[in-house]
Structure 1
Amino acid sequence: MLRRAARLFIVAALMFSIGLHWVVLQSAAWAGMLVTYTVQGGSLLTGVSQTFDSEHPCPLCLAIKKGKQSEKKETRQADPKQKIELALTFPAELVLTPPAPTLSPLPDFPHGIVRRTKPPFPPPRRGEV
C-alpha cells in the first residue's frame, strides 16, 4: 500500500514539474464546455464550434489562462543572484599510468571445465531445491 502511494506521489510530482496539470485542467474545462454548449445550442456542431472558438471561455478556462501567465512571470523574474553557474576545471598536467601487472596469470582452459557431478534426475520442480 505504501509503495503504491509513493508511486502515485512520484507520478503527481513529475506531472506538476512538466506542467501536465494545466493540460489535465484544460481538458476537463473543454469537456465541460462541450457538454454545456451542446445542450444550450441544441447540436454537437454548435457545441464544438463554441468550445474551441476562444470567444466563449468558461470561468475555468480564464483561471487556467491566468495561472499559466502568473507561472511564466515567476520564471522570468528569477533572482539573477540565484543563477547556478557550472564551471569545469582541468588540471594543468594530466599523467596517465598503466595498471600494475597481475601477480599470477589466469589458468588456461583450452577444453573448458569438466563437470564431475551429474545433474539431479528428474530435474527439481519449481520451489524444490
Structure 2
Amino acid sequence: MPPRGAWMNDPVLHLLPGTRDVELPEPLRYVDRRGQLHEVPAKARSDGMTSTAWSWSFIGCPLTPDYRRPCFLHDFYVVTRSVPPAYAHQLLRETLEEAREGRLWRARIWLFWALTRLFGPRW
C-alpha cells in the first residue's frame, strides 16, 4: 500500500458575514502519497460546493470537521482549474480515504466521492 499523505496544518475557517462562504486565514498544506505539496493560499474562499447541497442531508456538509480540509483543497482546484478534473477528484478520494482512519465510514466516503464525481463541477 502506498504511504499516506499528510496534512501539514488545520486552519480554522472564517465564516464570511452575509454569505455561506468561508475563508482561510492561513495557507492549507497537504503532501500527497507521491510527496507532492498541495497548497491553498491564505484568503482563499469556498462555498462548500464540493458536493451538491441536496446530498448534504445524508452524507454531511463539506465544511464539517471530517470533510473540511479535503473539500477545501478540492474546491480550490475547482475554482483555479490548475489541475485536471480527474486529478482533483482522485485527490479528493485519497484525502477522504485517509480521513476514514478517523471517524468516517467507508460507505459514506465512497458515496461522498461518487456524488461529487457524478454531479460535481467539470472544467
Same fold (TM over 0.5): no
Alignment TM class, shorter chain as reference: under 0.3
TM-score of the aligned structures, taking structure 2 as reference length: 0.23
| TM-score, scaled to structure 1 | 0.22
Structure number, greater radius of gyration: 1
More strand, by proportion: 2
More relative contact order, 1 or 2 (CA 8 Å, 6+ apart): 2
- Bigger helix share: 1
